[in-house]
Structure 1
Amino acid sequence: MTFTITDTAVFNGRELLAGRYDVRVDGDTVAALVQAGTGDPVGEVVDGAGATLLPGLIDGHVHFRQAVDFEALLAGGVTSAADMASWPPEHVAELRSHSGGIVFTTPGAPLIGPAGPHSHMPGLSDSVIDSPEAARREVAARAAQGVDYIKLVLEAKGRGGPESDAAHAAVDAAHAAGLRVVAHASSVGAIELGVAIGVDILTHAPLDGAVSAGTIKRIVEQGIVVVPTLIMMRTVAEARDIAPAYANAIAFVAAIHHAGVVIVAGSDANSAPGAPAAVFHGTGARDEVGLLVNAGLSPVEALRAATETSAGLFEFMNRGVVRLGSVADLLLVNGAPTTDITAVGDIRGVWLAGRRVS
């Protein structure tokens, strides 16, 4: 199918382009970006007057359970996502068959400690790493399954997570296998452990206190990327009736942003019964970019965290951008989200690989 979105502003994943554009899509690819009105539109015409065209959003932290999760993502303008734990491998294969074309990455089952909160989840008894040997064995098993990265669930000392020797062995084994390590770290102690053992990506932000300047300095020096999932942290704080604790999460994001840490937008959206808090697929990603702005990022930085930067982190090739030859995962919104981030929720159209889905 060929269509042209006419007279639209374009945020290309990194910056707002000067002027307005006619953007032509042929099949699943962006085929032309020309100054509005300088040529004749080709194919179906989509009016982009008063709107901004962006890459489809990429949610850097979700959990999939059923086909409707993918439908909700698309309705919210999310066209790719980083899953943060799905198991067993047969279920992952089933999810891919029902994704509707959404591309997603996954670590398979997470590696967990013997007595942390995740140890009570069904199907994770074989994922416990209670020794360096167990850690190496589980990493090898994930690598054999063809996972995209290793997910390691860390807790503060004494909270039932993996001991530091097992966690460190998991990181070393993952790196030896060419896999990065994503660490669930939702407390100050867990963040400190993740930094000490050299994980590549930290997810969540602490509710229980302030992360030290020294730890933040090490995050910068080690090039660790942070996916703070502010919408989940706020929702958890509200659910536990500790809403003031959310200020710790905001302060953490403000501090790492000021320090120059790479931040990626992720919502921790899930539809699993018994989850700590309900964050919805699709709307969660839009909420997250708004909360990143509240924490000190500019609207452009927040949008970048949900498009080009996220695509680069999770290796979604030729996605998260609007340029000649890029995959036509597109989001058309009313208004100017690069100055008013709330406009990202005022959706006029969503396309997945050139196919209009909303």
Structure 2
Amino acid sequence: MRRTSPGLAMGRLALCFFSASTWLAGCGVAERPSTLNATEVGCAGCTVLKGGMVFDGTRAARATVVIEGDRVKQVVFDDVAPDGVEAGGGEVVDVAGKTVLPGLIDLHVHSLSVAGPYGYYDGDLHIEDHTKAMLRAGVTSYLDLGSSQHVIFEQRARINAGDILAPQLFAAGPLLTPTGGHPCYLGSPPGDFCVFIDSPADVDGAFEALLPRAPDFIKIVLESGGSQPLPHLSPPSAAAINQAAVSAGVRVIAHATAAADIEMALDAGVTLFAHVPDEDRISPELAQRMAAAGAVVVPTLVVQDGLSRTVHGTLTELDDPALADDVPAGVIAALQDPSLLAELRTARYRELVKAWREQGIANLKTCYQAGVTIAAGTDAGNPGVFHGLSLRREVALLVEAGVPPLEALAAATRRAADVLGRPDLGRLERGALADVLVVDGDPLADIRALGRVSRVYKSGVLLDREALALPRKTNLARAPRTGAGLGETCLAASECAPARACSPAQICAATCSVASDCAPGSACFVDGGSLAAGACVDGDGCDLFTQDCANGAACVFWGNGSTSCWYAGAGSNGQPCDASFACAPGSVCDPSNTCRALCDPRGERGGPCPGGERCVDRTAIAGLPVGTCEQSERR
């Protein structure tokens, strides 16, 4: 779940940005002659899926599904049509030997996180790659449970406006956590990914800032950190958050990793859980309390499974060339790079992962046996937990843990839709949104059939899965988006107006190649792996000498008079920088990868350099009066 530290209802005509030959594949078959007393289905312009098994979200049997526009028009099971079913019009698709299901729903996704090793970062925004992978896998709706606010809410707005072909997106935005809590650990700048709640008094302000963005859920973090203790949200704070959420008509979902976290959440009135605990065991009595409270658990067993297979080198899909259709090449390479996996493959970490996996499975069984509702989610974006692909594995893990296949499929369809409060999703019945998945075989007999995707319909439109493969580089936007001005959110470099660049924070900024191209107080950041111009990024004006950054982050200088809160490392003056070139607050990383204490060359602020070192003036580099402490012989 994280051992560190983001629907489109298109009818056929709305997809004018793709050619009809690309998205709508003709698969008509000849109908048999009319049969007396046969039940007639279909209509002009309908799609009739006939001859296969149908799982409607509740039961499975042979049936015919009729799609009209973006909705399901009819579902006729053979047991209520003893004389057969006859199509009275429309395109008839023979699905014999296949199973027709509702589109899958993933209740725990991080849209902006890649599934590489912890600490891996390639600088690219992979949200479109992840969107394609989900669509190809038949994931037609998902809940993002932690991403940069301005990016994920912008993505949701574009999807809802019909500007992007994508699964229906529900988003929580930031995580509510105590200062220094998971996933914004002490020393990290929170950005707009975390909102710190250290007492009930912080709740009103947090909601005042967050509610205008209309989050679909409020996510709280209840994690003590296990072997590495972390600040924990207090019971009064959790209760205040839930009360504020109830008043706002928004449901709270809790990240909980231990049985005590579950109890605290229940005491606060929270009954929706983003994980099954894996740090210890849930007692039968607690599971019964959860069931009585109507609790819903999203187990995310695939997180521990992905970690386990990553640390033991058994992530066998990495050897399959077809994986590149759904996972960025850099992520695949990173998961095969021993240098990036070294920390995950220590003996101690292997033992931790083994315990997490065993306890997670045991707790799922306890919850299921007590009658706790189980819904499916993956926590996609963790190591080896690939977007789209991981949901089918999560369902398979539920089955391996003893959940009957029918209920495991319901967890990823109808029950997930119920959590979202959307009765038109996750089921095949009259009036439901026509998000439909067709797979070869019968997943009730072999749950692995979920991976043998034959067809995916999004809002009634048949998707060309081959066109969505990553190497094809198909653009999901209905029309190019250009001309975004300074300060506006950008999801691609091409979206910003001329003389503007998309900054690492996904904000349109002035272009630059050197610091002097930027206004004072802004630094020029250039992506060395890109041909695009650099971006002028405004500093936040933190104080280098008082080190006034929140959450223990370090105030550093970037040049051109710019200072910003940045990740703090462990090393101080004279010690090596961290792998990310970070030092403890009050020090900066020099070109020799050594931390150097900050000093004031004017002698006006801060203390003297330690150990007889002298203050070397760096004003010309920093653009403001500051120096670094160095041995006298250094120049």
> What is the TM-score normalised by the length of structure 2?
0.53
Check the 8 A contact 2:255/2:273 in 1, yes or no. Answer: yes
Q: Which of 449, 452, 465 is 1:343 aligned to?
A: 449
Provide closer, same or farther for how the CA distance between residues 339 and 41 of structure 1 changes in structure 2, counting only shifts above 3 A: farther
Q: Which of 49, 53, 70 is 2:96 aligned to?
A: 49
Question: What is the alpha-carbon distance in structure 1 between the residues aligned to residue 387 and residue 89 of structure 2?
Answer: 34
Task: Give % identity.
Answer: 35
Q: Please show how residues 1-358 of structure 1 align to structure 2 within 5 Å.
A: 2-17=46-61, 20-34=62-76, 35=78, 37-40=84-87, 42-65=89-112, 66-89=127-150, 91-97=152-158, 99-119=164-184, 120=188, 122-124=190-192, 127-156=195-224, 158-237=229-308, 239=311, 240-242=349-351, 243-245=353-355, 246-270=357-381, 275=382, 277-357=383-463, 358=465
How many Å apart are 1:121 and its aligned residue? 6.3
Check the 8 A contact 2:156/2:171 in 1, yes or no. Answer: no
Question: What is the alpha-carbon distance in structure 2 between the residues aligned to residue 121 and residue 61 of structure 1?
Answer: 24
Check the 8 A contact 1:24/1:41 in 2, yes or no. Answer: no
Provide closer, same or farther for how the CA distance between residues 86 and 244 of structure 1 changes in structure 2, counting only shifts above 3 A: closer
Question: What is the alpha-carbon distance in structure 2 between the residues aligned to residue 206 and residue 217 of structure 1?
Answer: 15
Cα offsets for 1:248-290 (capped at 9, x unmatched) = 10010001100000110001112xxxx5x23111111101111
Further displaced range: 123-132 or 95-104:
95-104
Question: What is the alpha-carbon distance in structure 1 between the residues aligned to residue 148 and residue 58 of structure 2?
Answer: 34
How many Å apart are 1:45 and its aligned residue? 2.9
Letter in 2 for 1:312: D
How many Å apart are 1:219 and its aligned residue? 1.1
Check the 8 A contact 1:2/1:42 in 2, yes or no. Answer: yes
Cα offsets for 1:65-122 (capped at 9, x unmatched) = 2122111111111101111123323542135426514212111211011122312364
Further displaced range: 227-236 or 306-315:
227-236
Letter in 1 for 2:167: I
Q: Secondary structure at the match of 1:147?
A: coil
Q: Secondary structure at the match of 1:241?
A: helix
Provide closer, same or farther for how the CA distance between residues 307 and 91 of structure 1 changes in structure 2, counting only shifts above 3 A: closer
How many Å apart are 1:160 and its aligned residue? 1.5
Letter in 1 for 2:387: H
How many Å apart are 1:336 and its aligned residue? 1.2
How many Å apart are 1:308 and its aligned residue? 0.7
Provide closer, same or farther for how the CA distance between residues 284 and 121 of structure 1 changes in structure 2, counting only shifts above 3 A: farther
Larger Rg: 2
How many Å apart are 1:190 and its aligned residue? 2.7
How many Å apart are 1:316 and its aligned residue? 2.5
Q: Secondary structure at the match of 1:351?
A: strand
Provide closer, same or farther for how the CA distance between residues 219 and 121 of structure 1 changes in structure 2, counting only shifts above 3 A: farther
Letter in 2 for 1:292: L
How many Å apart are 1:235 and its aligned residue? 2.3
Q: Secondary structure at the match of 2:220?
A: strand
Gaps in structure 1 of 5+ consecutive residues: none
Provide closer, same or farther for how the CA distance between residues 332 and 324 of structure 1 changes in structure 2, counting only shifts above 3 A: same
Higher relative contact order (CA 8 A, sep 6+): 1
Cα offsets for 1:293-317 (capped at 9, x unmatched) = 1111100000001111111110224
Q: If each structure's helix is expressed as a fraction of its own residues, which one has the higher value? A: 1
Check the 8 A contact 1:183/1:203 in 2, yes or no. Answer: yes
How many Å apart are 1:224 and its aligned residue? 1.4
Question: What is the alpha-carbon distance in structure 2 between the residues aligned to residue 208 and residue 40 of structure 1?
Answer: 55
Gaps in structure 2 of 5+ consecutive residues: 1-44, 113-126, 312-348, 466-635
Check the 8 A contact 1:230/1:291 in 2, yes or no. Answer: yes
Q: CA RMSD in A?
A: 2.1
Letter in 1 for 2:70: D
- Across the two proteins, how many residue pairs are aligned to each other? 351
How many Å apart are 1:353 and its aligned residue? 0.6
Cα offsets for 1:177-219 (capped at 9, x unmatched) = 2221100112334333323322121111233221223322221
Question: What is the alpha-carbon distance in structure 1 between the residues aligned to residue 258 and residue 289 of structure 2?
Answer: 17
Letter in 1 for 2:180: A
Question: What is the alpha-carbon distance in structure 1 between the residues aligned to residue 308 and residue 201 of structure 2?
Answer: 36
